[in-house]
């Protein structure tokens, strides 16, 4: 399996979620299964079925996170020698030249991308158009609505 690029913050967030699943969720599910078993007949026990389903979900999520973290290539954008160019992990403030709207994105790996938090995948069209550019550059991005131009206002590596 190939390496998965991830920021330091993203790796810490995944590690914290994994720890929570192992130390909180897993014991809760085990207790719920034990309580459901104590009720007797398992063939028609909805609580038992629900607890087993929850256990399968938790164990699957644990395996997924362990796999992601074992293949993660943690990249600290602050330690990169980027010469003010946009690289993985950079936070970029842009102005849409058509609407004068200002937007801010951090370029992250697929596993940590979340547009609601302003985190876009390094594989997205916007990120690919920004990589290698510097503050003050204008770049074109192919969007579903057509080509849009953005001016790069600020680049930070935090």
As averages over each run of 10 residues, the pLDDT of the chain (158 residues) reads 86 96 96 87 80 95 95 85 85 92 94 93 93 92 87 89
Q: Where in the chain is the domain with CATH 3.10.50.30?
A: 77-156
Tokens linked to 50:
């629900």
Collect all residues with Cβ–Cβ distance below 8 Å to 72 and sequence separation of at least 6. Answer: 3, 4, 5, 6, 11, 14
Q: What pLDDT was estimated at residue 1?
A: 56
Domain covering 4-75, topology: Helix Hairpins (1.10.287)
CATH number belonging to the domain at 77-156, selected among 3.10.50.30, 3.40.50.261, 2.40.50.140, 3.40.50.700 = 3.10.50.30
C-alpha dist (Å) from residue 83 to 127, 128, 156: 18, 18, 11
Residues of the chain with CATH 1.10.287.180: 4-75
Cα 65 from Cα 27, distance rounded (Å): 18
pLDDT score of 7: 92
**pLDDT given for residue 64 in this prediction:** 95
Task: Output the pLDDT for position 77.
Answer: 76
What residues form DSSP beta bridges with 93? 104, 154
């Amino acid at each position: 399996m190939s390496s998965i690029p991830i920021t330091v913050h993203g790796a810490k967030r995944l590690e914290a979620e994994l720890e929570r699943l192992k130390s909180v969720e897993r014991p809760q599910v085990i207790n719920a299964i034990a309580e459901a078993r104590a009720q007797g007949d398992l063939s028609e026990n909805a609580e038992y079925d629900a607890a087993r389903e929850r256990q399968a979900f938790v164990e699957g999520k644990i395996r997924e996170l362990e796999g992601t973290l074992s293949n993660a290539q943690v990249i600290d954008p602050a330690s990169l020698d980027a010469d003010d160019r946009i690289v993985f992990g950079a936070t970029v403030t842009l102005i849409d030249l058509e609407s004068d709207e200002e937007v801010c994105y951090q370029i992250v790996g697929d596993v940590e991308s979340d547009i609601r938090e302003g985190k876009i995948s390094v594989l997205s069209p916007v990120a690919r158009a920004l990589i290698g550019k510097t503050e003050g550059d204008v770049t074109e991005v192919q969007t579903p609505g057509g080509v849009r131009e953005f001016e790069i206002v600020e680049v930070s590596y935090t």
